[in-house]
């Protein structure tokens, strides 16, 4: 059973429903997976999570490496997702576009509008890779969770892509300027980060006007890099250094890998 058939079976979609829906809703997105119900991907909301296929960055600690290629033989048709969401009106609060990198695909704008038309709030998980497209989709978004991977001058050490820090910096500013609800978060691995650099990053974000920030420990499950997954992982959060950042934000959330 392929991913498309499995998704239809799990959420009760039948072929004649898909055919009827497909005529009104052409394919907007390449979708690598769907979580029908999440309590954690959009704060204080019940949401479905749509994982968009494709990401141009190659962060070693990525826990969704199957979503990195632009295409996937197991993609789920957009019309299947729309059919599922139509049946969840009144049961779900929001739909979160995650990835991969949702703003890689031009169809994200149309997809967000279609979800809005069904009456859902729209959440977006992004690394800020495409500021221009982010600017276009932000008016349709109710909440953004953006991964800020490192001090902006060090971004290429994480992403493997020159100039990635400049794009991320632009995207942080776009989100702040938009007025949309947000959380910026940094995933920490001791082989890639130090307490001093994360403090410096936090201070930079606070100076830009960020008020909601999260620090989260690396989790080995699904990690793209076998070396990072196997590396000793003494927690960077054990020391009280992050208390220095707490006074700089309205909220500072610390997420440990054991939670």
Q: At what angle do helices 78-86 and 15-24 cross, to 10 degrees?
A: 100
Determine the average pLDDT of the residues in 80-95.
97
Q: What pLDDT is attached to residue 161?
A: 96
Determine the average pLDDT of the residues in 107-126.
97
Residues 6+ apart with CB under 8 A from 148: 128, 168, 172, 184, 185, 186, 201, 205
Question: Using 50, 70 and 90 to split pLDDT, how confident is the model at 190?
Answer: confident
Question: Using 50, 70 and 90 to split pLDDT, how confident is the model at 100?
Answer: very high
Domain containing 92 equals: 3-255
Question: Using 50, 70 and 90 to split pLDDT, how confident is the model at 4?
Answer: low
d(Cα 81, Cα 94) in Å, to the nearest integer? 13
d(Cα 167, Cα 189) in Å, to the nearest integer? 22
d(Cα 189, Cα 217) in Å, to the nearest integer? 7
Number of domains in the chain: 1
Burial (CB < 10 A; 0-12, 13-18, 19+), residue 122, is buried
Residues 160-173, buried b or exposed e (16+ Cβ, 10 A)? eeeebbebbbbbbe
220 secondary structure, DSSP code: -
Q: Is the pLDDT of residue 217 over 80?
A: yes
Is 73:5 a contact under the CB 8 Å cutoff? no
CA dist 209 → 27, 103, 206 (Å): 38, 23, 5
d(Cα 168, Cα 173) in Å, to the nearest integer? 9
Whole-structure pTM value? 0.87
Determine the average pLDDT of the residues in 206-216.
97
- Integer Rg of the chain from CA: 19
Q: Is the dihedral of CA 118, 71, 62, 9 positive or negative?
A: positive
* pLDDT tens, position by position, 123-153: 999 999 999 999 999 999 999 999 999 999 9
For the chain, give the mean pLDDT. Answer: 88
CATH of the domain at 9: 3.20.20.70
């Amino acid at each position: 059973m392929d991913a498309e058939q499995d998704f239809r079976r799990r959420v009760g979609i039948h072929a004649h429903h898909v055919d009827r829906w497909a005529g009104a809703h052409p394919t907007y997105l390449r979708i690598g997976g769907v979580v029908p119900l999440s309590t954690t991907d959009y704060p204080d909301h019940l949401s479905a999570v749509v994982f968009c296929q494709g990401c141009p960055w190659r962060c070693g600690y990525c826990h969704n490496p199957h979503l990195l290629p632009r295409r996937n033989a197991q993609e789920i048709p957009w019309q299947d997702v729309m059919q599922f969401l139509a049946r969840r009106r009144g049961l779900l609060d929001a739909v979160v576009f995650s990835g991969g990198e949702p703003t890689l695909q031009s169809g994200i704008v149309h997809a967000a509008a279609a979800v809005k038309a069904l009456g859902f709030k729209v959440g977006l998980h992004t690394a800020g890779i495409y500021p221009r497209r982010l600017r276009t989709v932000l008016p349709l978004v109710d909440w953004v969770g953006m991964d800020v991977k490192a001090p902006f001058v060090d971004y290429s050490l994480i992403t493997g892509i020159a100039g990635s820090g400049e794009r991320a910096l632009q995207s942080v500013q776009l989100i702040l300027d938009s007025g949309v609800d947000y959380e910026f978060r940094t995933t920490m691995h001791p082989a890639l980060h130090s307490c001093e650099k994360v403090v410096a990053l936090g201070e930079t974000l606070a100076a830009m006007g960020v008020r909601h920030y999260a620090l989260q420990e690396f989790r080995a499950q699904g990690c793209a890099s076998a070396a990072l997954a196997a590396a000793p992982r003494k927690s960077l959060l054990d020391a009280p250094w992050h208390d220095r950042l707490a006074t700089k934000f309205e909220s500072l959330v610390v997420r440990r890998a054991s939670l």
